[in-house]
Chain A
Amino acid sequence: IAGITQAPTSQILAAGRRMTLRCTQDMRHNAMYWYRQDLGLGLRLIHYSNTAGTTGKGEVPDGYSVSRANTDDFPLTLASAVPSQTSVYFCASSESGGASGGELFFGEGSRLTVL
């Protein structure tokens, strides 16, 4: 089934450790996004990429980095995890970004706990 695959689905991590959340899509979508979802808050955009080779900062980019070496993959890295990064992380994609961006397709999420 075509869609977005995230890994891991769940992870407990010690503070200060480096962590990469993986995201792969097979829909050949140009735009990809990383969101975090916290109780009582709306989804918050961390980083995005409108096309392979380009990335941009979202609302809450500090402590996170991304890369977009090809169309399909969009990993999110926490260089040195802190407890405030405990959250559920969703990767999403859309056919295009910006003005022509349509609906988002989401992965199943990665639940990260930083102790």
Chain B
Amino acid sequence: NAGVTQTPKFQVLKTGQSMTLQCAQDMNHEYMSWYRQDPGMGLRLIHYSVGAGITDQGEVPNGYNVSRSTTEDFPLRLLSAAPSQTSVYFCASSYSYRGVGNEQFFGPGTRLTVL
């Protein structure tokens, strides 16, 4: 199993540009999520999904969109990039959202810089 994969690893955008961060998992996990990691702030939840076709907002959803058309994929879209979105983005998945004690498996991250 590849686990959770993310592409690209690095990305530089100009203010106002849009882009999609890709996330895929091959573990047939029900739950998937996107976090951003900023120095001194830990990880903050952007959006999450409890199954195909079901998504919801996390703590910091503004400026981001998600969709989940398949169990495997959970892309994150930046609509109009801003310097405040410079961060490291992590995708994670877990077997079942209802088993809230389940371990989340994290991807390697995407380092995004917005100029």
Tell whether A and B belong to one assembly: no
